[in-house]
Structure 1
Amino acid sequence: MGDFLVTCLQAATPIWLAALAGMFAQRSGILHLGLEGLMLSGAFAATATAIKTGSIMLAIGVAVAVNLALSLLFWLLVTRFKANVLIVGLGLSLTAAGATGYALVAFFGTEAAIQSPVGLPRPLSGVGGPLGNLSVLTFAAIALTWLSWWTIRRTRAGLKLSACGSDPFAARSAGVPVDRYRLAALQVGGLLCALAGTELSLAQVQSFSDNIAQGRGYLAFAAVLLGGIAPVGVSVAALFFGSAAAFGIQSQLDFNGALPPQFVLMLPYVVTIVAISATALVKRRRGEGPAVILERTL
């Protein structure tokens, strides 16, 4: 049982961190479909830096710097050039998928996975047991969830951020610099997605392979919608999706490979569709309208 719970946390951590990133963006009024691309960029930057330097701190720093630059570009396209936020987000994810695959060949001369000599610290490795396999970013996700809740619910900046998403015109009339708050939200999201990508590539496998995210960014986006754009709800939704992934892995082990691997891979996404459909049905019956929040005019 303990091993399964740890597997759930390991599977959920990258989705969890990316979902918090999407929550901040959506709180500011931006639907962020670029989470997948930011996770891939962060994962490649972290792994490549770790291979070249052998420093885990420098690897995280480079991953954060890359994602901050991409988040700034995202903000410029959406706010300054008035590009459609959904198209920009999808473009970012698709471009990152192709660019990281190309960079893998260009910098390392291979299409196979590249191995890192270092990995993320494991605070409880000396304790023993299954908890020793958890990386430091799993514990960081718990702390960041509380910090996100406190920022949104207990600070003026958090309240202003929520106002930018709920009614940007009223926020502007009250003197709130909406575009700056959206930039800040995207930058925070870039940092969180860099951590999510680092967790993917340097926590357990300590390697990067082409398309390592495998749709986790889209699961994170679904967790934002399912969690009601609230830190605790988003975190619970991310843990739910992580549990679905862990259940698929555990089922494959229990049945000694008798289950088709395609079933294991598709299970989290089937659960996502069922969960969002059920949420939409409940809201429709309550008269709350569609479950998906539509983009507001910038």
Structure 2
Amino acid sequence: MSLAVQFSEYSTSDALRVVDVPPPTPGPGQVRLAVRAAGVNPVDWKILQGWMREQFPLELPAGLGSDVAGVVVAVGEGVTEFGVGDEVLGMSLTPSYAQFTLADTSALVAKPARVPWHVAGGIPSAGGTAWAALDRLKVSEGETVLVHAAAGGVGTFAVQLAVARGARVIGTAGERNHGQLRDFGAVPVTYGEGLVERVRAVAPNGVDAVIDASGRGEIPDSIELAGGPDRVLTLVAFDAAGTGIQIHTGGAGGNGRLALREILDLMEEGRLHVPISRTYGLTEAADALDASRAGHVRGKIVILPQ
């Protein structure tokens, strides 16, 4: 048997329990991982509370988590790319808030030895989503990009990936995070009333593209600053679809491995860093989700099951 976090009803984090479950058996093209780190994402607590029932129908009891970094401990039929003992990261097929999970080999990449486990576990969803958002917006060298919630999980990746593309980045964040954004090569501005004026003070001609990872009412200002909705993309403000902006869901989609490899290459070159807000044990999953839901987190929250 092995341990996993589960819930039997849609509710708050109080519904979470650590239970004994059989280790999952890998099928063709799959591997079983001993989970060393599982990234926490806002979608996790939204699933727990039942907000995502249509997108992610579940049979209860169910678990949480899809970001994973771990060690291959068993391989399914036809697997040749990875073997037992290999260290990998990517997306899991079964819940990753657990000691063991399954993953399709097509959703995994090798973990560089110099990347710590807790950092590796925080990369897949946030990094892949940021990469995909920049790709959809076709951000290129010399352009100016505005990133809302620039110090959060996705925002941190979006800022650094855009800088790596040669873009000028303006990031909205609370003042306590301005120093970190400057270190990442961005121009920080405070969010809230007067945002348009503050952005125009550093970008008089507005911006070329906007990534909204905040969802706190910035869409009208973003459209004004970008000169229209075409290159404004939100990850969270789904109620703004009628404005003509782009809505992005689904992380990196089929480009997950490409995104992860680019991110890992930039990390190896010292051009991208993954701040970790805090790590939690498996029995502290409720606290991890509560911290994620509270927002204003600097960097990633990660669960360490073993």
Whose strand proportion is higher, 1 or 2? 2
Fold-level similarity (TM above 0.5): no
Query: Which structure ranks higher in relative contact order (CA pairs < 8 Å, sequence separation ≥ 6)?
Result: 1
Whose helix proportion is higher, 1 or 2? 1
Give the TM-score normalised by the residue count of structure 1: 0.24
